[in-house]
Amino acid sequence: MRILGVDPALAITGYGVIDFNKHGFSVVEAGVIKTEHKKGLQARLAKIYDGMSDIICEHRPDCMVIEKVYVHYQHPTTAFLLGQARGIILLAASKSEVAVVEYAATQVKKAIVGRGLASKSQIQKMVGSVLGLKTLPKYNDVTDALALAITYSYHSAFLKNDCKDFRKDY
């Protein structure tokens, strides 16, 4: 199974593509889609859409796993911007007919570390260990994206189902 994990954001969207089978994990590709703060919102969203579409087209994932939105009530503007970035990413998945699964950050932390309140460094170390990485990703966004993909692999193996169970008719 090929899984694309995505940590959405307007400035830096992290992604990680992993293969998961009975022999374990292998990282296919991981990286970030960066947008420039100086560019307008429309251009930044277009860059995210184009980048995500290219990743999907190149790697043909069986599913995409994306983080659910959680934003503090004191920062509503952040929620709107994050929501727009997520929407563009979901549009890219939909146009490519890739099934999407969503997890809250606490679900991912619990699956990866065993605690829903794990720190970024704990997540990073466990992701590196599980995937056998020689060096840890430079960006936490990449680590989070890989953690999302690993979480889905754990859940799919446990539940004996795959992304097709989550596919919706459009």
DSSP per residue, 11-80: SEEEEEEEEEETTEEEEEEEEEEE--TTS-HHHHHHHHHHHHHHHHHHH--SEEEEEPP---TT-HHHHH
Q: Name residue, tokens 């590196």.
A: 128
* pLDDT for 161: 54
Q: What are the 10-residue block averages of pLDDT along the chain, 170 residues in total? A: 96 97 93 96 98 98 92 80 94 97 94 91 94 94 97 77 49
Length of the chain: 170
| Residue in this structure with the two tokens 């069986």, named with its chain if needed | 62
Q: Assess whether 141 carries a catalytic annotation.
A: yes
29, 141, 144, 169: the catalytic one is 141
Residues 160 and 76: beta-carbon distance below 8 Å? no
Residue with token string 């989070």: 144
- Residue 60: how many other CB atoms lie within 10 Å: 12
Q: In whole angstroms, what is the distance from residue 26 CA to residue 163 CA?
A: 18
Copy the structure tokens of residue 106.
């606490």
Catalytic residue among 7, 19, 62, 144: 7
Provide the pLDDT for residue 116: 86
- The CATH number assigned to the domain holding 46 equals 3.30.420.10
Active-site entry in 19, 62, 67, 144: 67
Domain count within the chain: 1
Domain that includes residue 97, residue range: 2-166
Is position 19 annotated as part of the catalytic site? no
**7 counts as catalytic:** yes
Write down the pLDDT at residue 170: 33
